[in-house]
Copies of this chain bind each other. A is one copy, B any other.
Amino acid sequence: MRVHGEAGQDGTHVPKQVDHEERRIQIAEALQRLTARRGLEGVSLRQVAAEAGMSMGLVQHYFKNKDEMLLYALEHRAKQREARIAAKVTATGDPSPRTILRTCLLELLPHDKTTEGDYLIGIAYFVRALADPAMAAVFREGVPDVFRFFADMIRQAQAAGDVAATVDPDQEAAVLWALADSQGSNILLGHRTAADVVSTVDYYLDRLFTPGN
């Protein structure tokens, strides 16, 4: 099967007719829009189909059940987020660890409609991951990478003498992640404004990037 043609960008044998991946992405993004508004649990296949402007049968055609759809959307979101952060980092043009870390942290926070939706989606999936091993696996893959990346940045800064040699890069990486991860919910619940949270991030980076101590 898989007759149809993947819009054959390369000459090699490609599926055909309809681009499955494209359709799946359409569905996943409809799901994202709904999730960002109403949370993951209340979203039904029918709603997703309606949001995507297609019949429910079509959604079923591309995902054999709901879990598969959710899982695909989760992975799609992870890729999107990664790409978005990478773009931001290169856009600043400043390769210093501190700038990179700050850019990453701020991009993880819900500071506009896109990132807010992204954050909500992450929480919705997290809740489900607690009961669904397949989803937990997706989280398990991604987060340690971020930890390592943060720790590496700190080690680079230590090598450059911008961060005291006495600090523990792995522990600090955990703290940085916690800062972004937890404070997002403060913003969403209205405990603190985005500006408050950014100031805390900067406060902490100031304390971290202090050669003395």
A87 in contact (CB, < 8 A): no
Oligomeric state, in number of copies?
2
A172's nearest neighbour on chain B, judged by CB, is B203
* Residues of chain A in range 164-213 having any CB-CB distance to chain B below 8 Å: 167-168, 171, 174-175, 177-179, 181-183, 185-186, 188-192, 196-197, 199-200, 203-204, 207, 210, 212-213
Q: Across the interface, which residues of B come within 8 angstroms of A197, CB to CB?
A: 174
Chain A: residues with Cβ within 8 Å of the partner, total of: 47
CB atoms of B120 and A191 under 8 A apart: no
Q: Across the interface, which residues of B come within 8 angstroms of A185, CB to CB?
A: 126, 181
A72 in contact (CB, < 8 A): no
Question: Which segment of A9-17, A23-31, A127-135 sits at the interface?
Answer: A127-135
The minimal Cβ–Cβ distance linking A178 to chain B, given in whole angstroms, is 4
